[in-house]
Amino acid sequence: MFPLFRILVFILKGLPLAVTNPFFWTVLLIIWLQYRKSADLEERMFGVVKVSPGKKVLYAVFFGILGGIVGSFVIVFLGISITEAGLIYVWPLAIILMLIHPHLMCFSYAGGIVSLFSLLFGYPRIDVAGLMALVGVLHMVESLLIYTAGHLNSAPVFIQDKKYGIVGGFSLQEFWPVPIMMLAVMLGQVPTQDIINMPAWWPIIKPPAEILGRKDLVYLMMPVVAALGYGDIALTRPPRARSRASALNLLIFSVVLLLLAIMASRIHAFKYIAALFAPIAHEALIIMGRKNERERPPLFTPPTRGVRVLDVLKDSPAEKMGIEPGDIILSINGRQVEDSEDIRLIKTMMPTYIWLDVLKTDGSFKTMEMNTYLDGVSILGVLLVPKSQDVPFVVMEEKGLLEGLKRFFRKRNG
């Protein structure tokens, strides 16, 4: 029987050691700086910050720890060892690939390339099955974090679309410090009180044959810190729907990669399949996601009638009435609205009772009301998609450092 309870106790005891790691706090600082940058842009564009950087960091830590517990259990359950996973080669390559394009800083690409070099040229000598399994687990944790929290800190932005011009959208930028328990192989004697006897079928991910045959083989739990992130743009669907669709696709990818890694630990040919699948399938996910976004009409475009809501401020009357991003406000208190000026004019009346006729994103009409503001409603709390194309900020696709350097030298020489 698998010692589930004892494994969970070991994980919960070990994770605090990862939190005290200086790298954990370095990751937190980087995350805070990223959120601070996003907050400054949000305030310049809309005059408000939906969620403070400090709260975003707290969310990141909370969900990161939960993700670390799940990932640690999967790693221990499968018996994935990092002893010969070749991480010392994967990290530098991931950084080099980031210079080409930010989305390439991913273990799927770097791990796949290192694994293929190992298989084809015999260098570096790594456990391909273990490395691919580790990549699969990290992406599984990432998919769960995206599904549960990928939309929480979405920030409204304006995007330049070739067909529709300037449209509203949401930037989905999330970062998580993930304390996680890894397994390292140790040969020799250890104190018996710290040993958990595992069932005969374990590990599922078999280590290299020269290690597996040793009778003094012991797996040692060690805490490390992983930094996971998610970046996307929601144009055709609300942030929650967009992030959850991405999460489900990534979860399927991670499960398939884990299955290939299990086979690779038993059948040599599957090492090639897993090493090729990781970068190719991951890139295919990105291409398909962008293709689907291009083929669907943007959700946040100016309507022919009424005004479309881009975002709703937290704890505002609009949020309490159930207004959501993408909804079209047709009238307020029976008066038709066609632009933001109409809403400002109605707010100057400070009504104590307010009702809105709204066209929802599913095509249904609803009347929403509120009468709890005895002093009058002074702010509705909605950010609107502008009907004018004259907006100060347009978010473009991020390029790699090398591309930026090429543009810089072109300008100097031109």
Show which of 245, 275, 295 is a domain's final residue: 295
How many domains is the chain partitioned into structurally?
Answer: 2
Exposed e or buried b per residue across 289-328, where buried means at least 16 C-beta atoms within 10 angstroms of its C-beta: beeebeeeebbbbbeeebbbbbbbbeebbbeebebebbbb
Question: 237 lies in a domain?
Answer: yes
- The encoded tokens of residue 12 equal 């919960």
Q: How much is the average pLDDT of 139-144?
A: 97
pLDDT digits over 20-43, tens only? 888 899 889 988 988 898 888 778
pTM for this structure? Answer: 0.85
Q: What is the edge-to-edge ordering of all strands in the sheet holding 165-187?
A: 155-161, 165-187, 217-234
- From the number of C-beta atoms within 10 Å of its C-beta (0-12, 13-18, 19+), residue 337 rates as buried
Q: How much is the average pLDDT of 137-165?
A: 89
Alpha-carbon 140 to chain mean position = 11
> Binning pLDDT at 50, 70 and 90, where does residue 192 land?
low
Residue 235 sits in the same domain as residue 320? no
CATH of the domain at 350: 2.30.42.10
Is pLDDT of 186 > 60? yes
pLDDT attached to residue 171: 86
Residue 291 sits in the same domain as residue 314? no
Q: How much is the average pLDDT of 101-117?
A: 89
Residue 42 sits in the same domain as residue 82? yes
pLDDT digits over 229-256, tens only? 888 888 888 889 999 999 999 999 999 9
> Binning pLDDT at 50, 70 and 90, where does residue 190 land?
low
Question: 393 lies in a domain?
Answer: no
Instruction: Please calculate the CA angle 108-110-113 and round it to the nearest 5 degrees.
Output: 100
Range among 34-48, 192-206, 240-254, 361-375 rated most confident = 240-254
Residue 199 sits in the same domain as residue 282? yes
Residue 257 sits in the same domain as residue 334? no
Question: 84 lies in a domain?
Answer: yes
Q: How much is the average pLDDT of 47-71?
A: 91
Residue 59 sits in the same domain as residue 83? yes
Between the alpha carbon of residue 5 and those of residues 196, 216, 351, the distances in Å are 11, 25, 58
Is pLDDT of 344 > 90? no
Determine which of 26-35, 158-167, 237-246, 322-331 has the lowest per-residue pLDDT on average. 158-167
Residue 287 sits in the same domain as residue 354? no
Residue 356 sits in the same domain as residue 236? no
Q: Residue 237 belongs to what domain range?
A: 4-295
Tokens 């994103």, residue?
A: 361
Distance CA 286, CA 249 (A): 10
Residue 19 sits in the same domain as residue 71? yes
Question: 74 lies in a domain?
Answer: yes
Residue 249 sits in the same domain as residue 341? no
Residue 283 sits in the same domain as residue 142? yes
Between the alpha carbon of residue 338 and those of residues 155, 164, 326, 329, the distances in Å are 24, 19, 15, 9
- From the number of C-beta atoms within 10 Å of its C-beta (0-12, 13-18, 19+), residue 36 rates as middle
Question: 174 lies in a domain?
Answer: yes
Residue 83 sits in the same domain as residue 175? yes
> Binning pLDDT at 50, 70 and 90, where does residue 206 land?
confident
Question: 405 lies in a domain?
Answer: no
